[in-house]
Structure 1
Amino acid sequence: MISLGLLVIVAAASAADVNNIEQLQAAKNSQLITLRNINVPAGVTLNLDKLKPGTVVEFAGEITFGYKEWEGPLIIVGGKNIKVVGKPGNLINCQGERWWDQKGGNGGKKKPKFFAARLTDSSIDGLNIKNIPAHGFSINSCKNLAISRINLNVAEGHTKGGHNTDGFDVGNSEKISIINSFIHNQDDCLAINSGTDIKFEGNTCIGGHGISIGSVGGRKNNIVQNVRVVRSKVIDSDNGIRIKTVKGATGAVKDITFDDIELKNIAKRGIVIQGNYLNKRPEGDPTGGVPITGLTINNVRGNVLKGGANVYVWVANASNWKWNGIKVAGGQKVMEQKGLPQGCKW
């Protein structure tokens, strides 16, 4: 009887059901943390940083947040060998429309970022997210992180003033995979500023600025290497696939593959590779301090609206590009090209 009692006590201690933010700190001692129907107070982070190795975090029911103008993040998860799981019917409802003013992070109301990941040997799966205020997943200094089946729906931002609602921002990270996810937003679906061994596969991006490498340059880490963007769709977006490097900066973009990418109703440019970013916008001639080498683009197909350009290349010091099966059409805007490596054509 005593042994059975001890087993019950141990089992209870290894799992925690959290219904309000006051219970969270004590719950971090548990191996299984279930977050259920929590309203996070205004200006407070749902803080799941420094979790014990092997912890499983479940999101269940609806998570909401009080309103305050602050930098966030609304959620942070950190640790090693952590599993973040969305239970059936889960919803992280940020109600970002309370902050939206068409300015995003460029002014107006101060908007909290959504989710900071500080994870190693970990996974995030099955989260349903609605209406982030600005900036989605910040994947910074992570290693061996698998992200899958994320439903990030900010469709209402198109009519209610959403801006800078990035899907996934990756920096200074390695061995990151993002697969089988849906992103409907008003900025980059994926933006990789630095990192190595990154896979983006089987994803659908709607309404934003497309899939981006960069901008690269001007940070502590200015290397993007071994990235594979495959079997994905970009729909009703400003750009399809894009690489942008900072004018006058140093670094490297190398061994990048875009393969089996479907574009639909792209407004500005289907494929854009440019080396003249400055002050968040392209200016003047490209510079070669961040060379783009080993770029493979294969089987990228679809349509650009007639006011846009199918392909735009404006680079310096680029080499070893292999492009095949490029079938991007419909754009009637003619743009001067510069720096296209010899033998590369579409």
Structure 2
Amino acid sequence: KYPLNMKKTWILNFSLFILQIFTSSEALDVTQYGAIGDGVTDDSQAFLKAWEIICSGAGDGQLVVPVGMTFMLQPLNFQGSCKSNPIVVQILGNLVASSKGNWKGDKDQWILFSDIEGLVVEGGGEINGQGSSWWEHKGSRPTALKFKSCNNLRLSGLTHVDSPMAHIHINQCNDVSISRLRINAPESSPNTDGIDVAASSNVIIQDCLIATGDDCIAINSGTSNIRISGIDCGPGHGISIGSLGKDGEIASVENVCVQNCNFRGTTNGARIKTWPGGSGYARKITFHGITLDNVENPIIIDQHYNNGDSDKATDDKLSAVEVS
């Protein structure tokens, strides 16, 4: 048997060890690195500095954008690969893009996460793309939030508003879960897709409210094993496969299941769109358990899609993407 004082020492040391386990994990806050959060000051460099620290393995891989603050950001690339896995980005406050007149840098996207394994982006905050100043612009317009080559990706809980172009773009990703998002833009806003998926596989999109000026969800070439459920879509252009086959593209989309979705006041419901002159296939596409209310084209398969470009709507294209 141990002496009484040795028992007390062991119990005390064990308690301190347990306490250390539960207090050693400390998330990093962007304000620790100079972010002001007044909605006017450019906080881009502070965010990049915080990301560099998190990506290197500090802060238990958790980065917090605090509630009650608004952070104005120029185009940013949160680049991997990272030592931390997973990395959890909690957006509790609001992110707002620079206006078009003050935009600096890449016009392809505003916020880019690339080459990151095990990324989680979540929270109750808002991502505002300030799109109204871009919508009449004829040139390049940025996607608000893009994920490229991010496997094991989780995105949930956020509100996305007024992107200059698509709100969310998933590209070259595998094992993706998107849930409980709100995406809003005016019905008249051009090309403001809710969620675009391209060249990706094993993607789940569920329980989202999407109201935009274009496709609520668009599944583009190179995608497979896509599950979409519990989506409230409208206004917008529906849930679309494509467009596929533009400029003679060899396109492929397969194994897409859309179920238990509601379409209200949309231009389209279930939609497949392909360009004349393309080739490839869209196969094993299923829509079931969908509700359509005041939908102009409940089900539409358009194999002569031209997106309003009459110069490309020629009748001499013999090839087409096979739909089955």
- Contact 1:39–1:66 (Cα < 8 Å) also in 2: no
Structure 2 match to 1:71: 107
Amino acid at match of 1:183: I
Alpha-carbon distance in structure 1 between the residues aligned to 2:172 and 2:277: 25
Deviations 1:214-237 (A, max 9, x none): 111247661100000110011111
Q: Following TM superposition, by how much is the alpha carbon of 1:177 offset from its aligned partner in structure 2, in angstroms?
A: 0.8
Equivalent position amino acid for 1:111 in 2: R
Matched, 1:15 2:27: yes
Paired residues for 1:89-238 under 5 Å: 90-101=125-136, 107=138, 110-118=140-148, 119-154=150-185, 157-158=186-187, 162-194=189-221, 195-218=223-246, 222-238=251-267
Per the alignment, do residues 278 and 64 of structure 1 end up closer, same or farther by CA in structure 2, a change over 3 Å counting?
closer
Change (3 A) 1:49 1:111: farther
The 3 A distance-change label for structure 1 pair 279 and 212 is: closer
* Paired amino acid for 1:190: I
Letter in structure 2 aligned against 1:223: S
Alpha-carbon distance between aligned partners in 1 of 2:250 and 2:181, rounded to the nearest angstrom: 27
1:73, distance to aligned residue in structure 2 (A): 1.8
Structure 1 CA distance for aligned equivalents of residues 305 and 145 of structure 2: 27
For residue 40 of structure 1, the aligned residue among 69, 72, 84 is 72
1:182–1:98 Cα change, 3 Å: same
Identity across matched positions, percent: 29
Q: Deviations over 1:59-109 (max 9, x none)?
A: 1111222223551422222311222111x4x222223223332x6xxx16x
Residue 235 of structure 1 aligns to which amino acid in structure 2?
Answer: R
CA contact (8 A) 2:194 2:212 kept: yes
TM-score, with length taken from structure 2:
0.77
Matched residues in 2 for 1:95 and 1:290: separation?
36
Structure 1 segments unaligned to the other structure (5+ residues): 294-346
Normalised to the residue count of structure 1, the TM-score between the two structures is 0.72
Q: Which segments of structure 1 move beyond 6 Å, counting only runs of 4 or more?
A: none
Q: Is the 8 A contact 2:211 2:234 kept in 1?
A: yes
Q: CA deviation at 1:288?
A: 5.2
Partners of 2:261 and 2:284 lie apart in 1 by 19
CA distance in 1, matches of 2:321, 2:300: 16
* CA deviation vs aligned residue, 1:7-36 (integer Å, no higher than 9, x gap): 59x936x52111323242323333111123
Instruction: Name the CA distance, whole Å, in 1 between partners of 2:210 and 2:110.
Output: 19
In structure 1, give the amino acid aligned to 2:144. F
User: Structure 2 counterpart of 1:82, which letter?
Assistant: L
Q: Report the CA distance shift for 1:217/1:237 in structure 2 as closer, same or farther (over 3 A).
A: same
Structure having the higher helix fraction is: 2
Q: Which one of the candidate residues 274, 279, 288 is aligned to 1:250?
A: 279
